[in-house]
Amino acid sequence: MNVVNVVPMSHTMPETQVGVPHVSVMAREVVNLMQPAGATLLDLTVGAGGHSAALLEAGAASVIGLDRDPRALELARARLERFGERALVRHASFSTFEEVLDLLGLETVDGLLADLGVSSMQLDEPHRGMSFRAEGPLDMRMDTTRGETALELLARVDDEGLTEILAKLGEERRARRVARCIKQELEAGKLETTLDLRRAVVRAVGPARIGGVDPATKTFQAIRMAVNRELFELEGLLEAAARRVRPGGRLAILTFHSLEDRMVKRALQTDAWEPLTSKPLVAEEDELSHNPRARSAKLRVARRREVSR
C-alpha cells in the first residue's frame, strides 16, 4: 500500500485562518494529499470556504464548492471572490453532486473533498437550533430552504423510532429513556426550543458531571444527523464518487463520527480505490491547541484506480 507522508504541521494557526468564522480542520494534510496543482476539484462541503481557499492557493486550476446551507454559500462566495472564475459556488446537497457536474458539462474531476458534519457558524448561531448552549428554535436543518425541522421530526416519529435514532446516530446508551422523556414533554406542549430539549434529556439521564460532557450532546448529534439525513447523504456521495473522479484522481473525506468513518473505510476498500492513508489521519497536537473541533476528526484519502468503470 502506498502511504503518503504529510509535511509536518506548523506550530501556529495558518494566517489565512485567523479571524474566520470556521477554522478548517487538517487543512495542511488535505492540501498535501489532494495534490491540487493544476487540478479541477469539487469541494462538496465548502462551508466558509477555508479548504477551497487553501486548495486554490496551492495552485488548483479551479474549485467548485457545494453546500446545502445558503448562509455558508454567502460566506464562501465572499471568501473566494479574490480567485475570480477559478472558484465557483453552488447550492446543492452533495448526494446530488453528479447533477451539478452534468450541468457544468464535466464528466469527471481530479479530486473530491468532503468535510462532514456541522460548521462553527451553524453551531454558533442560536436561531439554527443546533446547539444546546443557547436558546433557539428546534430547527437543526443545514438547508434552511427545505425539509423537516427537528421539531417536526420529533412530532412525526414514535417512541420506538426516536429510540432507534438516539441509539444508532447518538450511540446513546439510555436511548429508550431519553426518547420517552422527549415524547412526554412534546405531548405536554413543553418542547419548543433547544433548551427545552436539553431539559428533557437531563430529566431522563441526570445533570452533567462537573467537567464532563453535556448530557444532551449525543441526543443533539443524533437528531441533527436524522434531520439532515447525514448517513443517507454520505452513502450517495460514496456511491457516485468512483464514477466521477478520473483514474488517478483523489477522494478525501474528513469524518467526525465513527459510523461515518466506518462507511468511508469500507467504500475505500473496494476495487475502485487505492487508499493513500492506511489508517485515518488525525489532527496533530498543535492544531488541537487552537481548534478543539479537530479532536474527533479522521481523514481518509484514496486514489482512483485505473480500472474500467
51 lines the binding site for ligand SAM (CB under 6 A):
yes
How many residues form the binding site for ligand SAM (CB under 6 A)?
A: 20
Question: Using the rule CB under 6 A, which residue among 45, 62, 131, 221 binds ligand SAM?
Answer: 45
Question: Using the rule CB under 6 A, which residue among 40, 62, 63, 115 binds ligand SAM?
Answer: 115
**Rounded Cα distance, 45 and 50, in Å:** 10
72 lines the binding site for ligand SAM (CB under 6 A):
yes
Nearest distance from C-beta of residue 205 to ligand SAM, angstroms? 28
17 lines the binding site for ligand SAM (CB under 6 A):
no
The window from 66-74, 104-112, 175-183, 239-247 that contacts ligand SAM (CB under 6 A) reads 66-74
* Integer CA distances (angstroms), 8 to 14, 27, 28, 258, 283, in order: 13, 12, 9, 25, 11
Task: Please list, in sequence order, all residues whose beta carbon lies within 8 angstroms of the beta carbon of residue 5, skipping any fewer than 6 positions away.
Answer: none
Of 43 and 185, nearer to ligand SAM (C-beta) is: 43
Nearest distance from C-beta of residue 72 to ligand SAM, angstroms? 4
Question: Using the rule CB under 6 A, which residue among 22, 183, 218, 250 binds ligand SAM?
Answer: 22
Question: Using the rule CB under 6 A, which residue among 34, 40, 49, 129 binds ligand SAM?
Answer: 49
Residue 305 pairs in a beta bridge with none
The window from 64-72, 126-134, 205-213, 278-286 that contacts ligand SAM (CB under 6 A) reads 64-72
Question: Using the rule CB under 6 A, which residue among 33, 35, 39, 47 binds ligand SAM?
Answer: 47
Which residues make up the interface to ligand SAM (CB under 6 A)? 22, 24, 45, 47-51, 66-69, 72, 93-94, 115, 117, 119, 142, 233
